[in-house]
Structure 1
Amino acid sequence: MDNPRHDRLTVVVAACNEAEALPLLHPRIRAALAGIAGLQAGVLYVDDGSRDDTWRVLQDLAASDPQVALLRLSRNFGKEAALTAGLDRVGQGAAMILDADGQDPPELIPEFVARWREGWDDVYGTRIEREGDGWVRRGAAAVFYRLIGRLSPTPVPADTGDYRLLSPRALAALRQLRERHRFMKGLFGWIGFRRVALPYRRSPRLAGRSKFGLWRLWNFALEGITSFSTAPLRVATYIGLLSALAAFVGGVAIMAKTLVWGDRVAGWPTMMVVILFLGGVQLIALGLIGEYLGRLYDEAKQRPLYLVDAWHPAAAGVSFAQEQPADGGAHAHGTSTAGRQAG
């Protein structure tokens, strides 16, 4: 059952090469949390294998704020795995997910908490405006969300990212999902429970440049579609059936033409176009099958979702979990330096 208490919250921030943005973001988070009455709150930063000064910046923040906890992964595992690592560490209360670039305003945290205290389990931010994004990026995002909304039976709200608050029972349910290819927006929708949207305007980045170019966004979209829908395989089947039907109709037409007008020399260009078209359709179908088989291959290996290099629990504030979900990764945390470097 859900914990009826609504007095504990952990803000989870996954960061990769965000040394410039984090010093600007943290004071805004602390100011937002300070304005919420009756809430014991802490901030958990996850360093996802940064190559700049992100870890040093996070250590400075933890040294000056006893309610800051730090988790450093052994390498860059990707944003989805970093978020999972952070949410796994939330021991009690709810979790609020923020991006490290500051585009999702921390000033709205009190509104998320208010919705949670009303009884909602998943309070998610829905963008009504995307400042700082070009028209290509905005258009691609709009197409992706509407496409996956139609293809996937799992509800994935349009224009909604990871900016959300999850109740304790939503977190407990999410920890049971240990698949290796993690499309978090789909996982949030899959667990269900009571959900409500909170509209907001997304701001430009505080500093630096986005780590998600168009190519990474394309691969991310492919990950989401293949993780939560088998529609591409079904489309390939339909294309194959239509191609076979067209070939049958064409064959009958050629036979009728031969019987009526005789057999004249067939056009070589037409034949090559047909061969190349059918070969392309077959390669596309094989590629789709390969995408799904590759995911089965990764799942079968049962590797840990992430490895921990260093763990610094907060000196004060909310408590953090020490036991990790049994996902084949219990030994993955054996390298954790929690006992030696707790600060």
Structure 2
Amino acid sequence: MQIISIVVPCYNEQESIPLFFKRVDQIMTDFDRHREQYQWEYWFVNDGSTDDSLKQIQILHAQHPDKVHYVNFSRNFGKEAALLAGLKSAKGDDVAVMDVDLQDPPELLPTMIETLAETDYDVIGTQRSDRQGEPWLRSKLSSAFYHVINHISQVQIVPGARDYRLMRRSVVDAVIAMPEYNRFSKGIFSWVGFKTKYLTFRHQDRVAGHTHWSLKQLLSYSLEGIMDYSEVPLSIASWLGGTAFVAAIIGMIWIVIRALLFGNPTAGWPSLVAIILMLGGLQLLCLGILGKYIGRIYLETKHRPQYLIKDKR
């Protein structure tokens, strides 16, 4: 009997949790009705929810104690931490990662399971073929992110790729073995390699509730991904500094030549102030980029755990 684990991070999803379980469990039951070769388990990770998400998960656990399990964090640590905790807890031969809002269509699960079983692929991933219904600005920024990171990073991330994927145990073990505190799952999944096949699907609306990702959070998450898998921002800072230095040398030479040819007229204050502000801003930009990398090093060297578990069943 092959065990399939389904890892589901949850944060304030009290309405989605019972709907998710009902739909996914029905699909899995129908899929295995005539095969009887699979056994599946659910690992819900409550990421410090402030609503009744934990209560909904506990109800499912009480109804299906051998099938539904959960990890309850002491506070909100973020989706990356929840994903890692779920992968570490999962006992399956194959492990699936899904969002509880049903924007990851569970109807793909049977195809993913069969493809993984019948081929030599190690991972069956998914990607959205469109962004219909998503705000225009968010869609454009997302496309720009994939364009930028795939040009400046050695790790290539498939545009529109979701965390929704089915992985063999060897892949899960490789992902868990990566010890960094600052985690960017899309980059980690790509970095570990393994043979991957992507299935496409059209955009799905949330089954209930609303997204917990603000535009500011998405921008911050994107910048973290870029810094985790590229040193190009540091190179840009170096090039900016070098360019400013060369420009200053050229300016000094021009000032000397002008003084020799035309005397030394008094220069205007606006141009002087503009130059000072420009160079000061350039220095602060470079220091800011360097500071972000140093800050990430600082977090890594503290060796704090990615999460703390309050309860696990």
Please indicate the TM-score interval, normalised by the length of the shorter structure. Answer: over 0.9
How many angstroms does 1:131 deviate by? 3.7
In the alignment, the residues of structure 2 paired with residue 167 and residue 141 of structure 1 have an alpha-carbon distance, to the nearest angstrom, of 29
8 Å contact 1:28–1:107 — kept in the other structure?
no
Residue 295 of structure 1 aligns to a residue whose secondary structure is helix
8 Å contact 2:5–2:91 — kept in the other structure?
no
Partner of 1:25: 20
In the alignment, the residues of structure 1 paired with residue 27 and residue 183 of structure 2 have an alpha-carbon distance, to the nearest angstrom, of 30
Partner of 1:84: 84
Query: Could you list the runs of 4 or more consecutive aligned residues of structure 1 that deviate by over 3 angstroms after TM superposition?
Result: none
Structure 1 position 170 matched with structure 2 position 171: yes
Partner of 1:42: 41
User: Which of 14, 37, 43 is the matching residue for 2:9?
Assistant: 14
**Alignment deviations for residues 86-115 of structure 1 (CA, whole Å, 9 cap, x no partner):** 000112311111012111111111121122
In the alignment, the residues of structure 1 paired with residue 60 and residue 139 of structure 2 have an alpha-carbon distance, to the nearest angstrom, of 33
TM-score when normalising by structure 1: 0.87
Partner of 1:74: 74
Residue 202 of structure 2 aligns to a residue whose secondary structure is strand
8 Å contact 1:116–1:123 — kept in the other structure?
yes
In the alignment, the residues of structure 2 paired with residue 15 and residue 47 of structure 1 have an alpha-carbon distance, to the nearest angstrom, of 5
Contiguous gaps of at least 5 residues in structure 1: 313-343
Provide the alpha-carbon RMSD of the alignment.
Answer: 1.3
Contiguous gaps of at least 5 residues in structure 2: none
Partner of 1:202: 203
In the alignment, the residues of structure 2 paired with residue 114 and residue 147 of structure 1 have an alpha-carbon distance, to the nearest angstrom, of 34
Residue 250 of structure 2 aligns to a residue whose secondary structure is helix
Partner of 1:259: 260
In the alignment, the residues of structure 2 paired with residue 230 and residue 161 of structure 1 have an alpha-carbon distance, to the nearest angstrom, of 24
Partner of 2:108: 108
TM-score when normalising by structure 2: 0.95
Equivalence map 1:76-225=2 (5 Å) = 76-117=76-117, 118-225=119-226
Residue 129 of structure 2 aligns to a residue whose secondary structure is strand
How many angstroms does 1:10 deviate by? 0.6
**Alignment deviations for residues 290-340 of structure 1 (CA, whole Å, 9 cap, x no partner):** 11111111111111111111111xxxxxxxxxxxxxxxxxxxxxxxxxxxx
How many angstroms does 1:248 deviate by? 1.4
Residue 126 of structure 1 aligns to a residue whose secondary structure is strand
Partner of 1:63: 62
